[in-house]
Amino acid sequence: MDLSLPAGVSPRRWMPVLAAGLSLGEYARSLVRRLAFLSAVLVAAIWALGGRGYFWPAWAWLGLGDLVLLDFAASWAWRQPRGAVRRVACVWAVVGVTAVILVFTWLLTWLLAGVETFWPGWALLGVATAGSAYSLIALQDRVLVARGRRALRARVDLLTRTRRQAVDAQAAELRRIERDLHDGAQARLVALTLQLGRAELRVHDQPEIRGLILDAQREAHHAIAELRDLARGIVPPLLADRGLVAAVESLAARYGLGTSIEVDTHRGLAPAVESAAYFVIAEALTNTAKHACAQRSWVALRDEHRMLAVVVGDDGCGGADAEGSGLAGLRARIEALDGSLRVDSPEAAGTVLEARLPCG
Amino acid sequence: MRVVIAEDLALLREGLVALLRENEIEVVAQVQDAPALLRAIAGHEPDLAIVDVRLPPTYSDEGLLAAIEARRRQPALGVLVLSQYVETAYASELIGEDTAGIGYLLKERVGDVRAFLDALRRVAAGGTVLDRQVVAELLAPREGGEALSGLTTREREVLALMAEGRSNTAIAESLVVTSGAVEKHITNIFAKLDLPACDDNHRRVLAVLAYLRVAT
């Protein structure tokens, strides 16, 4: 049984103990323990001096021991996490203390009065049953919550996985559509204009028919141009045909910013990641060309663990609006891939766009 | 003139074949993919190959790569590359070091039958024809692109038409000016782009190509 005061507190100077930082409760508990110990010694001494005989101090010890036991059980229960667990611990502290009192009382009646029947049996069974029943009811919620959390985690995992699959499937589908537009509808329209051209050659002496044919050809040309713009908006053809690096080089050349391009990635990129990286760079270079009045601009692509890091920077006038519509659209696109976008654009100190895209 | 055609869409391929045959141009082979194109060129030794950029099996840029390879093997071969879209990078790769006998056009230009046949003949004869969209992209004003900044608007227009392979007379007609005026513009362009006064053959197209190499 631990009767000592908390570490660093002198037992002889009990009053300053409060000043040393002990709470009133702790102080009272240590006092109770000491008084119990002193009383136990005292009754034993009285019994020894009073001519011995029937060992009655055992009953006093039992009472004092119960007091100390209750103190320990209560402090143990109080240390448990708040809520249902602490309530269950309190119930079991009471059950435990009751059981110990019953068993020790029986032990004394057996030793001192010769009662051989184990009379506390039914009582022990009763309190244990009551404690168990309370625990089951009180912790039922927690069991359900734990199961709920597991289910939630599984659901988040599933959604993360299926969202990525959906994004990948969408990107692959967009590439297919781009190809179909170029090689399907657009190619057929080209064949149509060719046939119209051949027809036009044959009726060059009939101006009315020739005019109709030329009108039809013009319409076909408009349709072809619209399809081309549509396809380019979906996936730039160079990106589809030659991948990210070639597409970025072409982009940089088109803007004529003298952009330096540094590539340090060797992984094959999923279409969704490739497109997202391309559109980040395209948006950044467009902004640089439009607003930044920059002397220098650079693009870096590199592997970082399981991420592709895309960094686009310039030494222009900075002050880009990170919440602007262009960047917000990019952010949505990147977040759909569980990636991140950071924009650093202090006034008059250049702009750096940094995107991280998970590569599975 | 003997021509090989590499185009995977049957409708367009057959249309081209019919068009050429109607105009007394001999189509010696029509193929659907890059390896077949190289075999046909080696077998038939044509004057001109008309090649779609996207060919099976991957439909990316194998037509372009095959055209460049064919030119490497037979430098005298004229190559006209057709594409659903134009990329200045592709034009630059196709031209490489030698501008003679190169054409790069949007596919839909086949609809303007007379101009298309004219382009074919010019490329087969060793001329250079670039699509006006490529030229427009090259001539678009851009920051940092200084090579053309000294040209006037009219000189740019003349340069664009030159890059399409038009003759002085055609340029004069198109801009509604005299041939003499066109000559003067061209002389100014050569001077401003600092082109050497060497043989006259492709100097006109070199004016654009010099810039193209700077830009890509």
Task: Write the pLDDT tens digit of every residue in A318-336.
Answer: 888 777 778 888 898 899 9
Look at the block and give the residue holding tokens 């960047």. Answer: A327
pLDDT recorded at residue B208: 64
Averaged pLDDT for residues A331-351: 90
* Interface test mutation site (partner A, options B9, B87, B138, max chain A beta carbons within 10 A): B87
- Indicate the CATH number for domain B2-130: 3.40.50.2300
**Coil vs helix vs strand at B54:** coil
Which three-class secondary structure string do you get for chain A?
CCCCCCCCCCCCCHHHHHHCCCCHHHHHHHHHHHHHHHHHHHHHHHHHHCCCCCCCHHHHHHHHHHHHHHHHHHHHHHCCCCCHHHHHHHHHHHHHHHHHHHHHHHHHHHHHHCCCCCCCHHHHHHHHHHHHHHHHHHHHHHHHHHHHHHHHHHHHHHHHHHHHHHHHHHHHHHHHHHHHHHHHHHHHHHHHHHHHHHHHHHCCCCHHHHHHHHHHHHHHHHHHHHHHHHHHHHCCHHHHHHCHHHHHHHHHHHHCCCCEEEEECCCCCCHHHHHHHHHHHHHHHHHHHHHHCCCCEEEEEEEECCEEEEEEEECCCCCCCCCCHHHHHHHHHHHCCCCEEEEECCCCCCEEEEEEEECC
Q: What's the CA gap between A103 and B93, in Å, rounded?
A: 97
CA–CA distance from A219 to each of A196, A206, B192, B213 (Å)?
Answer: 11, 20, 40, 35
Task: Write the pLDDT tens digit of every residue in A168-206.
Answer: 999 999 989 988 888 889 999 999 999 999 999 999 899
Bridge partner list, A115 = none
* Cβ neighbours of B111 in A, within 8 Å: 190, 193-194, 196-197, 217, 220-221
Number of helices followed by number of strands (H, E) in chain B = 10, 6
pLDDT recorded at residue B70: 93
CA–CA distance from B94 to each of A93, B88, B156, B176 (Å)?
Answer: 88, 10, 23, 33
Q: Which residue of B has its CA nearest to A292?
A: B143
CB A343 within 8 A of CB A312: no
Q: What's the CA gap between B132 and B138, in Å, rounded?
A: 10
pLDDT recorded at residue A1: 47
Neighbours of B102 (CB within 10 A): 25
pLDDT recorded at residue B139: 67
Q: What's the CA gap between A177 and A236, in Å, rounded?
A: 12
Contact B88 A196 (CB under 8 A): no
Contact A228 B116 (CB under 8 A): no
* Interface test mutation site (partner B, options A177, A213, A224, A241, max chain B beta carbons within 10 A): A241
Q: Where exactly does CATH 3.40.50.2300 map onto chain B?
A: 2-130, 136-215
CA atoms within 13 A on the CB side of B96: 16
Longest alpha-carbon distance in chain A: 149
- % of chain B residues with pLDDT over 90: 42
Q: Pull the structure tokens for residue B76.
A: 């005298």
Contact A187 B116 (CB under 8 A): no
Render the burial of A291-328: b for 16+ CB within 10 Å, e for the rest: bbebeebbbbbeeeeebbbbbbbbbbbbebeeeeeebe
Averaged pLDDT for residues B47-64: 91
Residue A345: partners with Cβ closer than 8 Å, 6 or more residues away: A318, A319, A320, A322, A351, A352
Chain A interface with B: residues with Cβ < 8 Å: 179, 182-183, 186-191, 193-198, 200-201, 217, 220-221, 224, 228, 231-232, 237-238, 240-242, 246, 249-250, 253-258, 289
Helix axes B10-22, A187-202, angle to 10 degrees: 20
> What is the pLDDT confidence band of residue B214, given thresholds at 50, 70 and 90?
very low
Has residue A113 got a pLDDT over 50?
yes
CB B39 within 8 A of CB A216: no
Contact A197 B113 (CB under 8 A): yes
Task: Write the pLDDT tens digit of every residue in B174-184.
Answer: 889 998 998 88
* Interface test mutation site (partner B, options A175, A180, A194, max chain B beta carbons within 10 A): A194
Closest partner residue to B110 (CB to CB) among A190, A231, A249 is A190
Task: Write the pLDDT tens digit of every residue in A224-272.
Answer: 999 999 998 888 889 988 899 999 988 888 777 778 999 988 888 889 9
ipTM exceeding the 0.90 mark: no
CA–CA distance from B109 to each of A96, B88, B103, B120 (Å)?
Answer: 95, 17, 12, 11
A239-358 topology per CATH: Heat Shock Protein 90 (3.30.565)
pLDDT recorded at residue B193: 73
The B78-83 sheet, strands edge to edge: B26-31, B2-6, B48-52, B78-83, B102-106, B128-130
Helix axes B153-163, B179-192, angle to 10 degrees: 90
Question: pTM for the full model?
Answer: 0.67
- % of chain B residues with pLDDT over 70: 83
* CATH superfamily to which B136-215 belongs: Response regulator (3.40.50.2300)
Has residue B216 got a pLDDT over 50?
no
Averaged pLDDT for residues B67-96: 89
pLDDT recorded at residue B13: 94
Averaged pLDDT for residues B199-208: 59
Has residue B147 got a pLDDT over 60?
no
* Cβ neighbours of B110 in A, within 8 Å: 190, 193-194, 197
Helix axes B203-215, B132-139, angle to 10 degrees: 60
Q: What's the CA gap between A2 and A318, in Å, rounded?
A: 69
